[in-house]
Amino acid sequence: MRLYHASFCETLRYQGGIGALVWILHRITGVGILLLVSMHVMAAFFMNALDDPISTAITRWYESRPVQVFVYFCVLYHALNGLRILLEDLYPPLLRYHRELIWLQWAIFIPVFGLPAFFIARGIVVSGS
């Protein structure tokens, strides 16, 4: 069997419909969470151990509004899509309603992401900054 290797850019251009979109978004948001959380843990560690200005700057950047919106997008999308994959793997008959479940997932995601993201971006629920 010969495996076809698709590059990242080819995957973005692939017209595979909604399934390909949620799959690549799951990857992007997963890597995003990993990057931000690892950076946060390391910055907290070096800030406590060395008290260096770089860690302090990273922590300040981490608490800024665009990053908060991005973290919220990544975590909420990854959690909802992961929950859908989990349900489909635990109970395979649900795979008959695969597309409907994806639309349900977007129907939950858009208001649950959009409303708090709007408030965060307008600075309504962010104290301090």
Partner 1 sequence: MRRSRECNGLEYYLWLFTRLSAILMLCAGAAGIVYANMWGRSVMDASAQYRWAFFPIYWHVQNTDVPDVFPLWSNAFWRVWCTILLFVASLHGFNGLRVVAEDYIHPPVLLLLVKGLIALLFMFVCGAGTVIIFEWF
Sign of CA dihedral 114, 115, 118, 120: negative
Rounded distance, CA 106 to CA 112, Å?
10
Nearest distance from C-beta of residue 98 to partner 1, angstroms: 9
Nearest approach in angstroms of CB 119 to partner 1 is: 8
Instruction: Note the residues at the interface with partner 1 (CB under 8 A).
Output: 3, 5, 7-8, 23, 27, 30-31, 33-34, 37-38, 41-42, 44-45, 48-49, 63, 68, 71-72, 79, 82-83, 85-86, 88-90, 116, 119-120, 125-128
